[in-house]
Amino acid sequence: MPSTRTIASSAIIPVIAIVGGVYLKYPSFHSSLCPQTCSSDTGNLHSGYFTYECAGKPHHSSWSSWWHPQRTNGTLAEHKQGAGAITNDWNILYHLGGNGPWVEKVIDVIPGGIAVPEGCEVEQVHMMSRHAERYPTKSAGNGQKAVVERMRQSPKTFDSNLAFFNNWELFWSTDESLEQLTSTGPFSGSLGSFTTGVRLRTRYNHLLTKALLSTRPTTFWASDSQRVIETARTFALGFFGIDYQPNNTATLQVISENRTLAADTLTPGRTCLNNKKDRKEGQKKGYDLMAAYVASYMPPIRARLLDHTGMSFTDKEIYHMQEMCGFETTVRGRSDWCDVFTQDEFLSFEYARDVLHYYRAGPGQKYAASMGWLWLNATTNLLLEGPGAGPLFFSFVHDGDIAPMITALDIINDEVHLPITHIEHQRKWRKSQVCPMGGRIIFELLSCRKKGVDGEEKFVRLNINDGITALPDCQSGPGRSCPLGQFAARTKRRGEEVGDFRQLCGVDADQAEGITFLHQ
Ligand SMILES: *[C@@H]1O[C@H](CO)[C@@H](O)[C@H](O)[C@H]1NC(C)=O
Ligand SMILES: *[C@@H]1O[C@H](CO)[C@@H](O)[C@H](O)[C@H]1NC(C)=O
Ligand SMILES: *[C@@H]1O[C@H](CO)[C@@H](O)[C@H](O)[C@H]1NC(C)=O
Ligand SMILES: *[C@@H]1O[C@H](CO)[C@@H](O)[C@H](O)[C@H]1NC(C)=O
């Protein structure tokens, strides 16, 4: 029997990665987000590392401990409150549309944090997580490289907010890095996934203790993609401890992403054949609508850059420059690209990314809900089985698989589909908060006792990027959780609404009907 143990590794690796979100409060109307204002009465508290947070430092260590040879000195620019600055009402990390570091969800969350409601205990958890911070995909990376090379060939010496470019180097040196986790800087994917493991170990230590009592290892799952697998393995170091493999504590099961797997998959976006084939209502819709919206905000930027550099940039080139703000940040900790554009221009960029994902794999397209319902159904069955089914279920996937599940769950669905003519400032669907790099949704099975009443009742509570989020139509439980019976009825009803996966997706009727691997 594996023994309970302490984790030397988590003590050695400094507790560093309390990323972005900690010093935020609620957004103002314009969707900008505010750091906590520093109260002057913290002066006499000798216990406080909060002063660090107040100084705008994202971690317990200072920025200087994250020195990187190519990280330019951003202090001045930050103090001038360019787009890259974190000021009283602006944090760029909330406007990168899924290209930037993990941040907490802060809109539409239940106040009070993630503490378990009084009288309740978490009996089982299910997590669906995106891989952690990564380099650009090949296609985004190639586009970024192309615009950088074209600028290099310009005889011009760039000035003002492009002056950095004269000495700037691309943030990857070999194309083998593309698509893979980043491994340097405070916002690196290696650190982010490890920290997530430690965070969950902190919350769910009692469930880990239970799992360790079992004679069998805990299975966790990753879709068959290097960055997803690495995220799962690094998470496991933080959660289960460095000896998890030799001690047979946990086993990673890799699930093929092959399009032939039908419904028995973690990546239904690939196995739902019509999602790829249907160029109008399938995933392509997202790219088309994004391009339409992008065209609406680019002309003034193009004119300004032409004036400034003598070069005329295409919509795509400007979009790639905006993308580099987030991607460089996950490698070097900051990026001068963030200061090339105004805050409004980043609000537009953010919205473009929201439109992309909303219509590519979210509520705005035809197949997403049916695709996402597969995992939701399997997970609901496990919640109904209760602790006997095992305490811990962790699945690692891509963002294109999380958006469908959120769609099936019907939890961040806007009443009206996102317009492409202007920014809908009141929208709930914000990619930065719904699914940043490392984005995750956790289902907690709560067992609660009422004072003076015998027996316990079960509820499901949803944690999206550490913002507890209520289901719009089911929140009568403690901490606005959903009674388990109602939750199950809801999943069943959604199954009827979203339609049969095989039929809708153009998959043969003799292929797998649902997920078979999700069990301990
Ligand atoms: C970075 O900026 C700070 C604040 O403006 C300045 O004091 C410091 O000398 C700069 N460091 C370098 C290496 O330029
Ligand atoms: C792993 O198992 C070995 C052999 O039983 C044991 O000595 C070691 O303490 C275990 N490691 C942990 C972290 O429990
Ligand atoms: C997917 O599976 C099919 C059938 O098993 C196989 O022929 C094909 O080579 C696989 N494709 C990939 C990319 O692995
Ligand atoms: C959904 O769950 C039910 C109840 O266990 C099961 O019978 C059915 O096969 C599942 N459907 C899918 C598509 O996973």
Domains of the chain with bracketed CATH: 105-132+183-266+368-412+431-505 (3.40.50.1240), 138-179+284-356 (no CATH)
**Cα atoms in the 13 Å half-sphere on the side-chain side of 19:** 33
CA distance 60 to 44: 19
Ligand 3 pocket residue status of 224, Cβ below 6 Å: no
Nearest ligand, measured from the Cα of 246: 2
Which of 201, 247, 248, 249 best tests ligand 2's pocket when mutated (most atoms within 8 Å of CB)? 247
Region for 85 from its dihedrals, namely left if φ exceeds 0, alpha if ψ lies in -120 to 50, beta otherwise: beta
For the chain, 520 residues long, give each residue's pLDDT as a single digit of tens. Answer: 333 333 333 332 332 233 333 333 333 333 334 344 444 444 444 444 444 444 444 444 666 777 788 887 665 545 454 556 666 678 899 999 999 999 999 999 999 999 999 999 999 999 999 999 999 999 999 999 999 999 999 998 999 999 999 999 999 999 999 999 999 998 999 999 999 999 999 999 999 999 999 999 999 999 999 999 999 999 999 999 999 999 999 999 999 999 999 999 999 999 999 999 999 999 999 999 999 999 999 999 999 999 999 999 999 999 999 999 999 999 998 899 999 999 999 999 999 999 999 999 999 999 999 999 999 999 999 999 999 999 999 999 999 999 999 999 999 989 999 999 999 999 999 999 999 999 999 999 999 998 888 889 999 999 999 999 999 999 999 999 999 999 999 999 999 999 999 999 999 999 999 999 999 9
Nearest CA to ligand 2 atom 2: 247
CA distance 388 to 206: 15
Ligand 3 pocket residue status of 516, Cβ below 6 Å: no
| Residue 68 pLDDT | 83
Which of 1, 3, 7 best tests ligand 2's pocket when mutated (most atoms within 8 Å of CB)? 3
CA distance 73 to 411: 41
Instruction: Please spell the DSSP secondary structure of 227-269, one letter per residue.
Output: HHHHHHHHHHHHHH-TTTTTTT-EEEEEE---GGGTTS-S-HH
Cα Rg of the chain (Å, integer): 23
Ligand 4 pocket residue status of 386, Cβ below 6 Å: no
Nearest ligand, measured from the Cα of 73: 1
Are 133 and 330 a contacting pair, CB within 8 Å?
yes
Q: Which two tokens stand for residue 205?
A: 């230590």
Q: Please name the residues in contact with 449: beta carbons below 8 A apart, sequence gap of 6 or more.
A: 119, 120, 455, 456, 457
Nearest CA to ligand 2 atom 4: 247
Nearest ligand, measured from the Cα of 69: 1
Phi, psi for 222 (deg, rounded to 5):
-140, 140
CA distance 66 to 174: 22
Give me the count of residues in the chain. 520
Ligand 3 pocket residue status of 260, Cβ below 6 Å: yes
Ligand 4 pocket residue status of 263, Cβ below 6 Å: yes
| Residue 203 pLDDT | 97
| Distance in Å, CA 363 to ligand 3 centroid | 30
Question: Which residues are known to be catalytic?
Answer: 131, 399
Region for 444 from its dihedrals, namely left if φ exceeds 0, alpha if ψ lies in -120 to 50, beta otherwise: beta
Ligand 4 pocket residue status of 374, Cβ below 6 Å: yes
Global pTM reads 0.88
